[in-house]
Structure 1
Amino acid sequence: MRLQAEGLAIGYPGGAVGHDLALAVGPGDILCLLGPNGCGKTTLLRTLLGLLPPLAGGVSLGGERLERLSRAEIARRAAYVPQAHAPPFPFTALEIVLMGRTARLPPFGQPGRADRAAALAALTRLGIGDLAARDYSQLSGGQRQLVLIARALAQEAPLIVMDEPTASLDFGNQARVLAEIAALAGAARGDGRAVVLTTHDPDQAFALNAQVVLMKAGRIVARGAPENALTSAALSEVYGVPVVVERTQSGRAVCAPTLARQSAPSITSEALTIT
């Protein structure tokens, strides 16, 4: 399933949040959106999913313009993982995941045995099968986030859009989710799902070997492979602090801010340093 946006302006009736945005992602691709708080990442995701109408430009999903698709058709093509929240009703974790099957049910249909099996399999895949009967609202933030990811897996859509999927997770679960994202995209085969995610951690883009869109103030300032887009100069400009990008002895890229206090940091050069 290919997602494509061109000439996109995003925002609300009161004003635009972003302008001149363009991106594309297809089967087997992982696209990482990075940028500081307020730069428009979540608004962009909501526009790509048709939850907000674009102010200009357009979005196509599977070769069809988004506005021509029904909500059910969009849900069969794209799954959304929002940031974890606490609902007002005491649904169990299994009931939350079963909601991902709704788009595959006939009108007024009820989840059947196969739907329940798919939901349980998604929970088990993420190592949280034991939470199936637990009250979702009583789970920790990290556990709720894993349940929402399981809901997207159970939806079985060819495109998965994730808003900071590792934000509430501990170190081990972050690693588990990143491995799941790589597996979903079929990075080794090139025939998997398309994945779009936002993150505040540029190291994750390197770990996933993802394509990168780096945003600032509603505009794209860099794009491409991590080693080309996530340079020290670009990250320092976008986040307003000095950032060093290095490779460890194992070959992994690491991005780290310089913690020394500086009244007016000035970064003029230095791309990817290899030691």
Structure 2
Amino acid sequence: MLEARDLSIGYGREPIGAGLSLSVRPGDILCLLGPNGCGKTTLFRTLLGLLPPLAGDVMLAGQPITAQSRTDIARRIAYVPQAHAPPFPFEALEVVLMGRTARLGAFGQPGRQDRAIAQEAMERLGIGDLAHRDYSRLSGGQRQLVLIARALAQEAPLIVMDEPTASLDFGNQAQVLAQIALLAQAASAEGCGVILSTHDPDQAFALEARVLLMKEGGMRAHGPAHEVLTASALGDVYGLPVSVETTTSGRKVCLPSLRGASSASEMRQNAGGGA
């Protein structure tokens, strides 16, 4: 469905990362993990066709993404941003209907079928009762679910999510992760894959995802979460001691050493690096 081959990414002639390869098939969940500034956002923009690769290829549905129109890409990839602040007080259903844009012709207006698809997407996520609510007045978790519903209404076989749980409270994070897991469970029948970025390794464990672990623009590891997210790998990428433990329920969790974080900060300050 989507494949990146030995990508070099960056802006203009300024490289940010190199040697990046990945693939996403129907039913896959792929988590991008790494510290701030490691190149996740630039990689996302390249995979979405918003930035040309400096080297290598991005193949979407067997064709170079650089040779495809924005409409064709939008029919194959749906994007869920971190946050969305509309300039007007749209109803939630109107926001979800925006996902139908790529399916309409020039100057086309959504019809009865488009509205039915949008409403069904909201019902699928358990937010059908929010259809006529002011989107800007919804909670953070509700708005995120509306954006996911918009992606579903787009009927694209691949969904890309940029930190979908950022700035959400504990309960809303759990709600959004549950919906991502449901998307993956249904994906094998519907031909859908999911790529998401996150700062929380525990989410990759919870979703039983494949992981692309990044540092300084490079790929440090790529594979199933239980194989990639080891204490040594996480310690190397984030620069502090980390332990990976298994709870009584059998779920793996990552525990950073706060003492190690403090020591690392002190070392940087003593070396003149600051915060």
Could you list the runs of 5+ residues in structure 1 that have no partner in the other structure?
266-275
SS at match of 1:6: strand
Cα deviation code 1:224-253 (max 9, x no counterpart): 111221001111111122111011121100
Q: Which moved more, 1:166-175 or 1:20-29?
A: 166-175
SS at match of 2:50: coil
Task: Supply the AA of the counterpart residue of 2:29.
Answer: I
Query: TM-score of the superposition, structure 2-length normalised?
Result: 0.89
- Structure 1 residue 210, shift from structure 2 partner: 0.9
- Structure 1 residue 188, shift from structure 2 partner: 8.8
**What do you get for the CA RMSD once the two structures are aligned?**
2.0
Conserved in 1, the CA contact under 8 Å of 2:240 and 2:257? Answer: yes
Q: 1:112–1:188: structure 2 CA closer, same or farther, 3 Å change rule?
A: closer
Q: Which moved more, 1:50-59 or 1:165-174?
A: 165-174
Distance (whole Å) between structure 1 residues aligned to residue 138 and residue 55 of structure 2: 40
| Structure 1 partner of 2:62 | 63
Q: Which moved more, 1:241-250 or 1:190-199?
A: 190-199
Conserved in 2, the CA contact under 8 Å of 1:186 and 1:192? Answer: no
Cα deviation code 1:56-93 (max 9, x no counterpart): 11101110110111111111111011111212232222
Matched, 1:176 2:175: yes
- Structure 1 residue 158, shift from structure 2 partner: 0.6
Matched, 1:210 2:209: yes
- After superposition, residues 77-226 of structure 1 pair within 5 angstroms as 77-186=76-185, 192-226=191-225
SS at match of 1:122: helix
- Structure 1 residue 46, shift from structure 2 partner: 1.3
SS at match of 1:186: helix
Distance (whole Å) between structure 1 residues aligned to residue 103 and residue 251 of structure 2: 41
Task: Supply the AA of the counterpart residue of 2:119.
Answer: L
- Count residues with an aligned counterpart: 264
Distance (whole Å) between structure 1 residues aligned to residue 178 and residue 155 of structure 2: 18
Conserved in 2, the CA contact under 8 Å of 1:29 and 1:187? Answer: no
Task: Supply the AA of the counterpart residue of 1:142.
Answer: G
Q: Which moved more, 1:94-103 or 1:130-139?
A: 130-139
Conserved in 1, the CA contact under 8 Å of 2:30 and 2:211? Answer: yes
Distance (whole Å) between structure 2 residues aligned to residue 229 and residue 248 of structure 1: 18
Distance (whole Å) between structure 2 residues aligned to residue 203 and residue 186 of structure 1: 19
Conserved in 2, the CA contact under 8 Å of 1:82 and 1:163? Answer: yes
- Structure 1 residue 198, shift from structure 2 partner: 0.5
Cα deviation code 1:14-35 (max 9, x no counterpart): 6222111111111111111001
- After superposition, residues 220-259 of structure 1 pair within 5 angstroms as 220-259=219-258
Task: Supply the AA of the counterpart residue of 1:221.
Answer: R
Task: Supply the AA of the counterpart residue of 1:195.
Answer: V
Distance (whole Å) between structure 1 residues aligned to residue 188 and residue 170 of structure 2: 27
Task: Supply the AA of the counterpart residue of 1:140.
Answer: S
Distance (whole Å) between structure 1 residues aligned to residue 229 and residue 128 of structure 2: 37
| Structure 2 partner of 1:263 | 263
- After superposition, residues 29-44 of structure 1 pair within 5 angstroms as 29-44=28-43
SS at match of 1:52: coil
Q: 1:4–1:75: structure 2 CA closer, same or farther, 3 Å change rule?
A: same
SS at match of 1:263: helix
| Structure 1 partner of 2:272 | none
Q: 1:70–1:130: structure 2 CA closer, same or farther, 3 Å change rule?
A: same
- Structure 1 residue 191, shift from structure 2 partner: 6.2
Distance (whole Å) between structure 2 residues aligned to residue 95 and residue 80 of structure 1: 17
- Structure 1 residue 105, shift from structure 2 partner: 1.5
Q: 1:32–1:179: structure 2 CA closer, same or farther, 3 Å change rule?
A: same
Distance (whole Å) between structure 1 residues aligned to residue 41 and residue 20 of structure 2: 14
Cα deviation code 1:196-226 (max 9, x no counterpart): 1111111111111111100011111111111
- Structure 1 residue 187, shift from structure 2 partner: 6.9
Distance (whole Å) between structure 1 residues aligned to residue 235 and residue 186 of structure 2: 29
Conserved in 1, the CA contact under 8 Å of 2:26 and 2:187? Answer: no
Q: Which moved more, 1:183-192 or 1:24-33?
A: 183-192
